[in-house]
Amino acid sequence: MSEAASTIIRKASNSPTPARRAEVNTGDFPVGQKDSILLPADGMPNREEIAIAPAMDGGKHLSKYMSDIAFGEDPIEIRIEPGQGRFAPKIIDCWVNGKGAEQFVNGKWDIKGWLPVGVSCVTRRKYVEVLLRSKMDNVSTRTTRHEDHEDNFVDRQTSSASPLTIISDPSPAGRDWIEKILREG
């Protein structure tokens, strides 16, 4: 574990409110938007590929993969911002590969499967990534009339499902990491 990560854990276990550094709020970053979908009058709409598996040739990508795994284990202090609705959730379920979200509580990692809303907590970066990738699409339709036909479009407006504030991140690459994830559509 890096020295900066050890510092976050030490601060979290020694003090319920660690010294504040410059916080990063996910609302400060643009969220990637998806293109409109044209629904043609006849035929099927074009379908894009959902995911393309990376080629793994002879361990060439193994060291990058292992460093990404280690990066995901970094402890980060966050606060999930409360929703505005009357019945906004007080916790957010969060899982990675069947393992529930971990929180650093009373000097040890505790597997809970959820993260609290409106309260700062220390969790691992991989769970924060799940929250950052959790997005909602508001959908609307519009019609464009031409002389001989109409085009129907489905427009999507994407927003973050769980806006949060990064209170403390040991990695200098953390801000770029957040921005990259939110930019992805």
In tens, the pLDDT along 102-113 reads 999 999 999 999
Q: With b meaning 16 or more CB within 10 Å and e meaning fewer, what string describes 30-57?
A: ebeeeeebeeeeeeeeeeeeeeeeeeee
Spans of all domains in the chain: 3-26+80-134+163-183
Question: Over 60: is that where the pLDDT of 19 sits?
Answer: no
**Cα angle 29, 162, 85; round to 5:** 115
pLDDT tier at 62, thresholds 50, 70, 90: low
**pLDDT tens digits along 81-90:** 998 888 989 9
- pLDDT tens, position by position, 63-83: 778 888 889 999 999 999 998
Dihedral sign for Cα 163, 94, 138, 175, please. positive
Taking the model in full, what pTM does it have? 0.69
Beta strands in the chain, from DSSP E residues, in sequence order: 24-25, 37-39, 75-80, 91-93, 95-96, 99-100, 102-105, 108-111, 114-116, 120-124, 135-145, 150-160, 164-168
